[in-house]
């Protein structure tokens, strides 16, 4: 495995002093950590966004090219705000070259370059949720399903079933049995709609939001030359809100990090609110298994809540079977 050594002479003593004055000790250790797989367990209000922002600035001031940094955030707005702050901290005019944004934005950036490799034109259109639902409805009609006689689920429900299956990497039949058992007798018809939906999207050169992730994973697993290109490019990968990633997103990060393995994921093991749409909070617990060499840091100083509120919150989760000791 290739070893990277941060060249501290690139970072002025003035900058280092500034970092120490603007960060607490735990944050400073995260920001200046050696390049390797890193898990940062950070509760709400502990300054994790600040730590990630300063980490990106620190890497750039260490001489890492911005285009070799990937920053995956929960919203594009969060990414923009972080990178604006990084630009202020570093004075660099190249911060915009950082690959920052949501998983979907990053996937779209890559697919615009390489869509032709998986059977799409680079000018494909992206269906929003409403367009995708209408498209599913057309596919239900094309499948010649008597929706009234069989009490077939509405297009929105079919769309949710397909989406959950995509994001959790589960077969549609498993999703139906586990979450929609009352539609179990209609499993084959729902799978038929999904097949038509996939075919028609390909024919019309369109993707929905889930396709961006599915097709990026497909690109990275089927096209080794492209996978190698990005695995080499992204020397450092940072992921915010890791507890709310789904299985598909975690797999994409692993594929991109396969060479350098400099992945820093930040998340709260006691807070996950998107399981309903496929988020897999166990990703944060399984990270040390996938990266046995990972360093573990904890941000525990809370700047948002009073001691009384924190005490109540800690008591309420004390019996959680899976959590990192704090």
Query: Which CATH superfamily groups domain 8-113+232-316?
Result: P-loop containing nucleotide triphosphate hydrolases (3.40.50.300)
176 dihedral zone (left: phi>0; alpha: psi -120 to 50; beta): alpha
Answer yes or no: is pLDDT of 178 > 70.
yes
Spell out the domain ranges in the chain: 8-113+232-316, 126-204
Dihedral sign from CA coordinates of 98, 99, 102, 105: positive
Q: How far apart are CA 170 and CA 124, in angstroms?
A: 26
Q: At what angle do helices 155-168 and 247-256 cross, to 10 degrees?
A: 40
Q: How far apart are CA 208 and CA 108, in angstroms?
A: 11
- Cβ distance 134 to 159 under 8 Å? no
pLDDT tens per residue across span 199-235: 999 999 999 999 999 999 999 999 999 999 999 999 9
Answer yes or no: is pLDDT of 98 > 70.
yes
DSSP designation for 45: T
User: What per-residue confidence (pLDDT) applies to 46?
Assistant: 85
pLDDT tens per residue across span 31-69: 999 999 999 999 877 889 999 999 999 999 999 999 999
Across the chain, the runs of DSSP E, i.e. the strands, are 38-42, 69-72, 99-101, 125-127, 206-208, 236-239, 263-267, 295-299
Could you tell me the pTM of the whole model?
0.86
């Amino acid at each position: 495995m290739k070893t990277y050594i941060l060249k501290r002479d690139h970072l002025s003593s003035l900058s280092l002093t500034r970092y120490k004055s603007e960060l607490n000790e735990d944050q400073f250790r995260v920001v200046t950590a050696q390049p390797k797989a890193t898990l940062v367990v950070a509760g709400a209000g502990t300054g994790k966004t600040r730590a990630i922002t300063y980490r990106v600035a620190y890497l750039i001031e260490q001489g890492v090219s911005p285009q070799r940094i990937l920053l995956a955030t929960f919203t594009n707005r969060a990414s923009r705000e972080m990178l604006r702050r990084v630009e202020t901290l570093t004075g660099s005019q190249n911060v915009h070259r950082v690959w920052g944004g949501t998983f979907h934005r990053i996937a779209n950036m890559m697919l615009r370059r390489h869509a032709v490799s998986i059977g799409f034109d680079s000018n494909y259109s992206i269906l929003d949720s409403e367009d995708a639902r209408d498209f599913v409805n057309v596919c239900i009609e094309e499948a010649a399903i008597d929706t009234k006689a069989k009490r077939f689920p509405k297009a929105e429900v079919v769309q949710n079933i397909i989406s959950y299956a995509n994001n959790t990497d589960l077969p549609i039949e498993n999703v139906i049995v586990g979450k929609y058992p009352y539609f179990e007798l209609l499993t084959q018809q729902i799978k038929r709609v999904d097949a038509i939906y996939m075919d028609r999207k390909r024919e019309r050169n369109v993707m929905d939001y889930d396709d961006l992730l599915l097709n990026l994973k497909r690109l990275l697993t089927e096209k080794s030359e492209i996978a190698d290109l990005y695995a080499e490019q992204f020397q450092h990968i940072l992921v915010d809100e890791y507890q709310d990633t789904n299985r598909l997103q975690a797999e994409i990060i692993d594929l991109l990090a396969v060479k350098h393995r400099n992945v820093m994921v930040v998340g709260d093991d006691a807070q996950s609110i998107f399981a309903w749409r496929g988020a897999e909070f166990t990703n944060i617990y399984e990270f040390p298994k996938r990266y046995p060499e990972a360093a573990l840091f904890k941000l525990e100083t809370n700047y948002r809540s009073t001691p009384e509120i924190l005490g109540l919150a800690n008591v309420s989760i004390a019996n959680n079977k899976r959590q990192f000791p704090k």
